[in-house]
Amino acid sequence: MATRQFVIFVITSMVMVMMIPTSNALLGLDHFPNCPLAMATIRSVVLNTILFEDQRMGASILRMHFHDCFVQGCDGSILLDDTPTFIGEKTAGPNNGSVRGFEVIDRIKTAVDKVCGVGKVSCADILAVAARDSIDILGGPYYDVKVGRKDSKTASFTLAAKNLPPPTSNLSQLLPLFQAHNLDLTDLVALSGAHTIGKARCITFRSRIYNDAEIIDNNYKMSLRTVCPSTGGDTNLTSIDVATPNWFDTAYYRNLLVKKGLFHSDQQLYKEDGSDSDNLVIKYARNYLAFKNDFTNAMIKLSNILPAHSDGEIRNNCRLVNK
C-alpha cells in the first residue's frame, strides 16, 4: 500500500514540476519574482534524486534545513566548507559524519543559476524550498515557503555544537532549545514527527538499547541490538520509524505509544505520565489532520527563523563565501 501511495505522489509531483507559476498574490511567498522557473527547477532535482538515486535523501535534506536554522537562523551557514582560515559547522559534533546531501544542494544551485542567472536565488532559499519539497514528495504536507533569504558570510562551529539537540536529550533539555527560537512544546512534538522518515547511525542510539533504565519495548530493543552491537559498528544504519520508514505519516507517534522510539529524545515525548507532550503524541497518533496542521505551522515558523546578523549575500557557490 505504501509503495502504491509513493508512486501516486511521484506522478503528482512530476505534474507539479511542469506547472510554472505565473503570478502570486503575495510577492516572495512560494514564488521567486526574479525567476519564475526557480521553484520548478528546485523540485525537479529533489524529485529525481529521491526517485532515482536515494529515497533517504529527502530526510537528509530536511534534517540539514533544521540544523541550518537552529544555529544562526536560516542562512545557509551549514553549507559552508572549512578553509585554512575558517572553521564552519560541518565538523561540529551533531553534524560531523551525519549531515548529508550537500552535493544535492550543489546540483540544485547549478541548475537554478542556469535558468535564473547567477546571483538571483540564495543557497538558504534553495535549502528551505528543497526541504519542503522533500516532505511533500514523500507524502507529507505541502506548505508555502517565504523566500528572500540571504546567505551568511559566517558560520559557527560553537553554536552548532551548542544549539542542536542531541538524541540523548531529556524533554527538559529539548524544550529550552526550541523556545530559544520561539518554538513551543506543540512545535517541538510536531517537528519531531519528521523522524517518520530517515535512518540513524548506531552510535546515536546505542546508549538507549544497552541501558536497562530506558523505556523501550524489549523485542524492539533486541532487534536493534542485531544492528548495533555494544562496541563497534558505529555507522551501522537503521530506520528511525520501524513501521513506515519511507513514507511521511504519523506512524512515528504510534511507535512511541508502544515504546518503539529509536532515540531517547523521541521516547521522552511519551512517557505515560499524562503530560502535555503525552497528550500531543496521542492526538497526532490518532488524528493525521491535527498533525498536518501543527506540523505545517511549525515548519513555517522554523523556516522563517531570521539570522541574528544582517550581513548577507547570494553565494555563487553554496560552499564558499563570495570573493
The amino acid at residue 109 is K
- Residue 63 CA to residue 191 CA, distance in Å, equals 11
Burial 146-163 (b: 16+ CB within 10 A, else e): bbebbbbeebbbebbbeb
Torsion sign across C-alpha atoms 233, 235, 238, 240: positive
Q: Is 236 helix (H, G, I), strand (E, B) or coil?
A: coil
- Residue 60 CA to residue 141 CA, distance in Å, equals 17
Torsion sign across C-alpha atoms 101, 244, 193, 296: positive
- Residue 149 CA to residue 316 CA, distance in Å, equals 14
Residues annotated as catalytic are: 67
β-sheet bridge partners, residue 200: 238
For the purposes of burial, counting CB atoms within 10 Å of the CB of 227, is it exposed (0-12), middle (13-18) or buried (19 or more)?
A: middle
- Residue 160 CA to residue 130 CA, distance in Å, equals 21
Instruction: Kindly give, in sequence order, each residue whose CB lies less than 8 Å from that of residue 284, ignoring residues fewer than 6 positions away.
Output: 189, 190, 193, 250, 253, 290, 291, 294
- Residue 207 CA to residue 224 CA, distance in Å, equals 12
